[in-house]
Amino acid sequence: MNYEAVIGLEVHAQLLTNSKIFCGCPVAFGGEPNSRVCPICLGMPGVLPVLNRRAVEYTIRMALAVDGRVAETSAFARKNYFYPDLPKGYQISQYDRAGEPISLDGGIEIEGEDGPRFVRLRRIHLEEEAGKSIHSEPGYDPDLSYIDFNRTGVPLMEIVSEPDIRSPREASAYLARLRQILQYIGVCDGNMDEGSLRCDANVSIRKPGDPLGELVEIKNMNSMRSMERALEFEIERQADLLDDGGRVVRQTRLWNEEERETFPMRSKEEAHDYRYFPDPDLVTVEIARSWVDEIGEDLPELPDVRMQRFVEDYGLPQDMARQLTENRARADYFEACVGQVAGDASGEAASQDSGEASGKAAGDARTVSNWMLSELLRVQHENRMDQQTLEERIPPDHLAQLLGQIKEGKISGKIGKDVLDVMAESGKAPASVIEEQGLVQISDTGELEGVVDGILAEHPDDVADYRAGKTKLLGFFMGQVMRATQGKANPKLVNELLRKKLAEG
């Protein structure tokens, strides 16, 4: 039987605030266990939480980026459950009903299975992170369980979609898009390895046209790959169940990456299980329209808009523009590099660390783009550098200078690639690499003439053949000269010299 998958995601994004959501404890990954805690995030009796304004601001920022409707008033509720990593016995969150979450509605467009798909959002709300239980990890007694409250109270933004996603691949595309937007607007680093972006997936299947089926919630997936695999497994499991005349039970299942399967954790809880009620310690938040407008004005250019601008302003093909704007750091690098090229053209921003004047009008956006998407990615990959290390080793102005050297004819494009390798390893400016390694292109006619004469003298038969009409041999002679000069000969000059000399005889 053919079924249609129906998927809705609940994504938790850890916000890049300095402090926790209801106290002043710092937010940072790792750290000595229980070193970033206070009576408030430890849930001691009698303490009072105070809402972090920045956390609300970041949530509004996200809401605006996805066309959400920002609430005029928003409120917090207690979600009651017992767990050792939850010291208060309840989590401060926001309940589902209108008037409570910071944002309702909105949505994002993704590349769907058959064309663009719009995934509607249900809501975006704020809540606090729980602590971390540690069982049998290296460095801990395997007979004991430990608890680290450093994470407790870290602000989480939960983005809940409508069940508009139709395949595991679309779920990945959706998550990737959310992550891209979160990173662009600077509210979450999107790091799934460190858990700053996490996702629960709800999935059901149905015969096309039928009402929605019973859903299963899957937790514990910590990469896009594992989310896709978990969904694929679960869709198949549900299909087998229905095919065998069974029915899907509403439950929460955990993904096991080693076994590549989901297994039941608990029957899916209902809202009333949590005994939600308004948190009496926190006042209702009134969100002034003027504040929302202010945040909107400061919103950075979003990936789609930026991509379109790259196409229009720099004349780049769409797919190139898409790759360049895939993350903000790369897009910023590109624009810095192109800007540097333009700066060189006006004679301002010459290379400073080499003390040498670098290329003027070093090339256009297309050249920068070509180099970034092939050579720069190559050296980044080969040297296992993250974006930050890459930018430290090869800052945008260095790449601009390198392209300038090539454009000026100081080195060939081929040698340029070797220079880039050395730059990636050493962090040196291109001019110093070229100088130290003696890579400057030989454009001295006298010097090249000597080499050309030598090559022609070594191959009298080929010279004769050429003169008898086998002009294709020009390539052979070129190759010989290049080899003799370790690729440093100026190809244009060599070409001219060869033609001249071969014609002379």
* SS3 state of residue 107: strand
Q: Which stretch of DSSP H or E encloses residue 303? A: helix 303-314
* SS3 state of residue 432: helix
The letter for the amino acid at 380 is Q
Residues 431-441 as b or e (16 or more Cβ within 10 Å = b) = bbbbeeeebeb
With contacts defined by CB under 5 A, name the span among 38-46, 236-244, 307-315, 330-338 that binds Zn ion: 38-46
C-alpha–C-alpha distance, residues 174 and 176, integer Å: 5
With CB under 5 to 8 Å by kind, the binding choice for 204 among Zn ion, ligand ADP, none is: ligand ADP
462 contributes a contact to ligand ADP by CB under 6 A: no
With contacts defined by CB under 6 A, name the span among 154-162, 357-365, 390-398, 466-474 that binds ligand ADP: 154-162
C-alpha–C-alpha distance, residues 201 and 486, integer Å: 57
With CB under 5 to 8 Å by kind, the binding choice for 215 among Zn ion, ligand ADP, none is: ligand ADP
The residue within the footprint of ligand ADP, chosen from 51, 54, 80, 96 (CB under 6 A), is 96
With CB under 5 to 8 Å by kind, the binding choice for 38 among ligand ADP, Zn ion, none is: Zn ion
The residue within the footprint of ligand ADP, chosen from 17, 103, 202, 490 (CB under 6 A), is 202
203 contributes a contact to ligand ADP by CB under 6 A: yes
23 contributes a contact to Zn ion by CB under 5 A: yes
Determine contact, residues 130/151, Cβ cutoff 8 Å.
Answer: yes
Residue with smaller CB distance to ligand ADP, 180 or 202? 202
With contacts defined by CB under 6 A, name the span among 41-49, 160-168, 392-400, 494-502 that binds ligand ADP: 160-168
41 contributes a contact to Zn ion by CB under 5 A: yes
* SS3 state of residue 447: helix
With CB under 5 to 8 Å by kind, the binding choice for 394 among Zn ion, ligand ADP, none is: none
What's the min distance (Å) between Cβ of 159 and ligand ADP?
A: 9
With CB under 5 to 8 Å by kind, the binding choice for 203 among Zn ion, ligand ADP, none is: ligand ADP
* CA 43 vs CA 22, 36, 260, 274: distances in Å: 11, 14, 37, 18
C-alpha–C-alpha distance, residues 451 and 107, integer Å: 66
The residue within the footprint of ligand ADP, chosen from 17, 74, 93, 161 (CB under 6 A), is 161
Residue with smaller CB distance to Zn ion, 131 or 163? 131
Residues 6 or more apart in contact with residue 288 via CB below 8 angstroms = none
Residues 6 or more apart in contact with residue 477 via CB below 8 angstroms = 452, 455, 456, 459, 462, 466, 498, 502
What's the min distance (Å) between Cβ of 78 and ligand ADP?
A: 16
Determine contact, residues 18/31, Cβ cutoff 8 Å.
Answer: no
What's the min distance (Å) between Cβ of 441 and ligand ADP?
A: 60
What's the min distance (Å) between Cβ of 49 and Zn ion?
A: 9
With contacts defined by CB under 5 A, name the span among 15-23, 363-371, 394-402, 423-431 that binds Zn ion: 15-23
The residue within the footprint of ligand ADP, chosen from 85, 105, 111, 162 (CB under 6 A), is 162
Residue with smaller CB distance to Zn ion, 72 or 281? 281
What's the min distance (Å) between Cβ of 283 and Zn ion?
A: 19
With CB under 5 to 8 Å by kind, the binding choice for 160 among Zn ion, ligand ADP, none is: ligand ADP
CB atoms within 10 A of CB 217: 20
With contacts defined by CB under 5 A, name the span among 25-33, 89-97, 305-313, 455-463 that binds Zn ion: 25-33
What's the min distance (Å) between Cβ of 197 and Zn ion?
A: 23
With contacts defined by CB under 5 A, name the span among 8-16, 30-38, 164-172, 329-337 that binds Zn ion: 30-38
Closest CA to 129 of 77, 88, 100, 91: 91
The residue within the footprint of ligand ADP, chosen from 212, 249, 305, 464 (CB under 6 A), is 212
Residue with smaller CB distance to ligand ADP, 161 or 340? 161
Residue with smaller CB distance to Zn ion, 23 or 124? 23
* SS3 state of residue 391: helix
C-alpha–C-alpha distance, residues 431 and 424, integer Å: 14
* CA 18 vs CA 25, 213, 504: distances in Å: 8, 42, 76
Closest CA to 92 of 105, 84, 104, 80: 80
160 contributes a contact to ligand ADP by CB under 6 A: yes
| Surface-to-core class of residue 408, CB atoms within 10 Å of its CB (0-12 exposed, 13-18 middle, 19+ buried) | middle
The letter for the amino acid at 138 is P
- For 173: left if phi > 0, alpha if psi spans -120 to 50, otherwise beta; the answer is alpha
Residues at the interface with Zn ion (CB under 5 A): 23, 25, 38, 40-41
Residues at the interface with ligand ADP (CB under 6 A): 6-10, 96, 160-163, 202-204, 212-213, 215, 271
